[in-house]
Amino acid sequence: MTTDEKTVENEVTQTESKAKTVDKSYLRPVTDVYKDDDAVRILMDVPGANDEDIEVSVHDGQLSILAEVNRSEEDVRVYERSFRMDRRMDTAKIEALLQRGVLQLRIPFHEEARPKRIQVRTAS
């Protein structure tokens, strides 16, 4: 092997050793959904996530949640879930809070979709 061939081989070997493969694990996170009279609440486990790791979006009546957590240079966890939104839900007023690895979403119902109590009067 000539000196030039050895130099090229060394450069290729060094480049290959510098290239690191990232192992992405796509996970469906544990999620609880609760409904009450005024809103739907979603609780989703996203361990290790920070607020900047999480993307919550609504498009064409679908709520999408994506969290990408870098556990190390080679290990990335991707948490994904999607939910179809009912037209009674006010997606413009979604609230999101991350606390101790749990993402909490509150999706209120439109005012006109909430149950209303009708007062009954006695005739005189």
| pLDDT, tens only, 23-53 | 778 889 999 999 998 999 999 999 999 999 9
pLDDT of the residue at 9: 58
Q: For residue 7, tell me if it sits in a domain.
A: no
Residue 38 sits in a domain whose CATH number is: 2.60.40.790
For residues 3-26, average pLDDT:
57
- Please report whether residue 98 resides in a domain: yes
In a domain, 36, yes or no: yes
pLDDT at position 18 is 46
Residues 6+ apart with CB under 8 A from 63: 56, 57, 82, 83, 84, 85, 91, 94, 105, 107
**60 occurs within a structural domain:** yes
**37 or 14, higher pLDDT:** 37
Give 1-54 as a DSSP string.
Answer: --HHHHHHHHHHHHHHHH----EEEEE---EEEEE-SSEEEEEEE-TT--GGGE
The tally of domains found in the chain comes to: 1
pTM metric for this prediction: 0.72
Closest CA to 47 of 101, 105, 97: 101
**In the sheet where 54-59 sits, what is the strand order?**
23-27, 75-84, 62-70, 54-59
For residue 85, the enclosing domain spans 21-113
Task: Kindly state whether residue 97 falls inside one of the protein's structural domains.
Answer: yes
- Whether residue 69 lies inside any domain: the answer is yes
Residue-level pLDDT at 3: 56
In a domain, 1, yes or no: no
Task: Answer whether residue 12 is part of any domain.
Answer: no
pLDDT class of 17 with cuts at 50, 70, 90: very low
